[in-house]
Structure 1
Amino acid sequence: MRITQKIAEYNDKTHPFYTFEFFPPKTDQGFENLLPRISRLASLEPLAINVTWGAGGSTKERSLELAAITQTQHGIDTILHLTCTNMEQGMVDDALTNAKARGIHNILALRGDPPRGEEYWIPTDPRFTYGVDLVSYIRSSPEFSSEFCVGVAAYPDGHPDRETDDDGELEHLKAKVDAGADFIITQLFYDVDGFLQWMKKVRSKGIQIPIIPGIMPIQTYASFLRMTKLCGTRVPPHLMSDLVLLRHDDQKIKDYGVDLAVKMIKRLTAESDIRGIHLCTLNLEKSVTRVLGSLAWIGGSSKPMNQLIADVPSGPESQFVITPHNATDSATNSLVVSGPIAEGEVGKGELNNAATWDDFPNGRFGDFKSPAYGETDLWGSSIMSRHQTLEQWGHPTTTSDLTNMFLRHLHSKIATTPFSPTPLSLESLIIIQHLERLTRKGWWTVGSQPAINGASSSDEIVGWGPRGGYVYQKPFVEFFADAADLKKIEKKVEEEGYGWVDYFAGNVQGECRTNVPEGGRNAVTWGVFPGQEVTQSTIIERESFLSWKDEAFSIWAEWASFYPPNSQERILLERIRNERWLISIVHHDYMKPSALWTFLVDGETLV
């Protein structure tokens, strides 16, 4: 059924409607474990389920498969997101035809993110450059026009890519509506006052179709920072102040996120003509269930914000400084406390704690069996822009230029690299001299962490989890190097590693080389907390490495696209992508801070 028809016919007087959003997991195990999770959430009777679509059709098969399951097996009307830019010729037709065959009648038409080179990007399919083009195409197609109810995205805090004012952004939205859009789903936001003002402007423009606000309960402090940066979301100062106080305890962050979402939804439904909400699940289920329960839409409760903040200890220990993500937002993104784990191996079917075993998303090196593993963006978003590329990364034409760029990031002369969307973290500064030494060798470091042996969980730099615990880390580093250097590293691991050193190496051609046994898993960050089992927050194994490897090499390709075809910059970046290897090395002796670095520099101790 068309979503607009369901909205018009919705007559439940006890509560507004709600929809859930899921993304196709990156791994087969994650996909398998998402299905029972969706089944449990489907029992809450959402009005519809949304399935996202990766930029350029990167998740095409998985998105269509997942949408078919929610539509046919669960009998819930499904809204298939569809991005149109950077799609191969005919892929839009193919996606719409496949959706139609699966009984899907609702599409969220998105521009998506091409490699945003502006001047040098050429649409793969010339029919599609913006979201309005996809709306117009569906509406003008004899085959598809009558089949699909078409929704579009809106950005209450402004579009993260466009430097237009509010009026300009509203004109973009009006154009999509005039082209035939039937409903609107908004990007996530946390400024309710700003949203209500935006709603008035939208209605004053004559846009009267249903608007469904996107609500994303905060899951962890790290994912909150990443998502709001990616989406260009305004964060009210009081909200950030509250989160800074709680940020070392992810359970309190999650509780706060639930309570915040409840308060936002109550205001939105009371102070506007909003009839329902769109809940971004991030493929997790506990928070959205608690939100609906706290609203008394399905039963439940939540601890009030003021009590959460009051629970934070006072005194010198509580005077934290904000600790930014590490350079790759990967292994040192360890703000993860999942509480007691279910009996048996987590992620394997319906265990005692199947709903919550992976309740805290922990970035690139989490558990690859988790449905939430690998979430990095929303609605096919990219983290690059042409302006950022030229301003911070310049015009590299030699490998020396690239080495200098990575060094400038280490020295805080530039805030980002294509592989590191944030400034260098305080934790990385502990090993800065080692990272600098490797980078000068031409091994461009993109991820790392120092050895930590029983630091307090309240430590301002490396601490995480509840207070009163202890945290541990094995040293590891990942970098790009050429094939000759990889051979030297492999030989040294074999001859001098003595079982203490594990590595993974992969290239764009799909080769993977490692000394880790099949099925082997390296827990490189863990914590011991009162009253809880040991928490392993960071795991490096084949599946997670390969997933990140594919992402890393796609970044080289996107970066290259910002420069003209046949330019020196593009030739260099494409050559690097084709020739270099991504290498990840772990040293298991976390009791010796210099162990990894001594091993990597031919026995020379750097500390």
Structure 2
Amino acid sequence: MKITDKLEKHQEKSAKPTFSFEYFVPKTTQGVQNLYDRMDRMYETSFPQFVDITWNAGGGMLSQLSTDLVATSQSVLGLETCMHLTCTNMPVSEIDDALQRAYESGCENILALRGDPPLNSKEWTPVEGGFRYAKDLVKYIREKYGDHFGIGVAGYPEGHPEDNDDRDKLVEYLKEKVDAGADFIITQMFYNADIFIKWCEAVRAAGVSVPIIPGIMPITTYAAFLRRAQWCEINVPDEFMKKLDAVKDNDQTVREIGTDLLVSMCQKLLDSGFVNHLHIYTMNLEKAPIMILERLGLLPTDKDVSDAAVAVLPWRKSLNPQRRKEEVRPIFWKKRPYSYVARTSQWAVDEFPNGRFGDSSSPAFGDLDLCGSSLIRQSGKKSLELWSRPKTVEDIARLVIRYLERDLNCLPWCDVALNNEVDVILEDLISLNQNLIITINSQPQLNGIKSSDPVFGWGPKDGYVYQKQYLEFLLPKEKLYKLQDSLKDNTMLTYFAVDYEGNLTTNHPDDYKANAVTWGIFPGREVLQPTVVEKISFLAWKEEFYHILQEWKLNFQNNQIQESVVLLDHLIGDYVLVNIVDNDFVSIDNKMLKLLHEI
């Protein structure tokens, strides 16, 4: 959705001000992965109206990182994303590529900027065949894409380093950008609310009526505060300097006092009547932006969180238009949304017919190459920091228990932090791992929980949601026969088990393609079945899971940690990957747990 439409829709329902976050593209692969986690976590904490991603000026691979981040944010994280796009070092061909990738990912918002001069140049000059001014870029986007994109432009309340002496001229330039087709304005950072308000008066007097969104830069350290203020050549009020200079050697106190100063400034902006939305330059940090929002009273209330927690589906839906019909996913990728979306990114729109998961046999589904060269989203060094050097199966079990106890936010086969859904079976999961049944994925049973429930709810209001208990785990091969014997004639506990070589055993009926493990009943519509267990997708997941173990092992080989290499070989060669579904979702008897303890 366009930013302007989203803000207008919110203001029709509530007078409460809104906010958004800006992130820059990290320079390392691990930094990118960590940023995905932080963006996801900050969204769950605060529910911003949108996020935006800065542009890596320079073209080529650097610029592709920006479009990659935008595509992941839209398609995998399901966040409304605005992409910066600059004219710096950008011939039209590269601008076309960037716009096309944004369009294909479902991005509907562009912040069109001229951009700063390249690092090794004191003067800004256009590249051959490129644009000289932001207004030219705005016109080009409008001519090429019509009204598809909401287009933002930059505003400079305190002037621009190249035209700092003529504020009236800068307002004229701003009006030209808006007349060229811009829909909203995001401003340069500032610390003087009075200057900003006077600038807003001048902008409105010039006939510019589009939303003005102030850019807010948190104060985290004294050195960074001074450096950014000097670089942007902005006015710093005496009050700021007096209070911050007195504590400049204490970073924690600087952040506390700086937050209070910014909160007072932001409140003055909101009271002015010119703005009702704050855009926070996060600098990829989490604490400082959240502190500002908390003290302004803009973080979601318990009711807001409850309403927001009731998602359309039990997994966050992609904002990629090619996935608009998708309403069903295999449960195996519940905690690996990145690889699942990557696997299915090439599926045509009609491969999600009526939202049903009907095409797991698509060649694209099982193609690991779609996930990139690495399936573990952590670097080799970070993997060692997070998961150390396990030498025994007991060490692996302790890692999983640490994850279940929320001491770890991820595991090699799990990208996302544990949610509250599993709290009702948490003791059982810990017990299984203590008995060296390594749990991979799980969900508890539900029998008619209201769709508005803040933990389990999803879908339209006034409905009821259901779940079958599900457990996925690693089991020693020598114990598989006990599982097979116990479940041979069991119609309520259905299972799939597969080893590294692809040998599959199951008691799942051959004539049933998929087993719905989550579903919802809602007024006036058909049953929704958003997560399923079925054979073809399980075999594709098996390939991915064992590939993850192979990658983990390779990292130990590269670091000459032989005991860990031997352990991973043991897991790969001597264990089977198993999933069990308890189809008796109304029973209070935990048959699955009893079975596994017997085994």
The alignment's TM-score, normalised by the length of structure 2, stands at 0.49
Structure whose CA Rg is larger: 2
Structure with a larger share of its residues in helix: 2
The alignment's TM-score, normalised by the length of structure 1, stands at 0.48
Higher relative contact order by CA 8 Å / sep ≥ 6: 1 or 2? 1
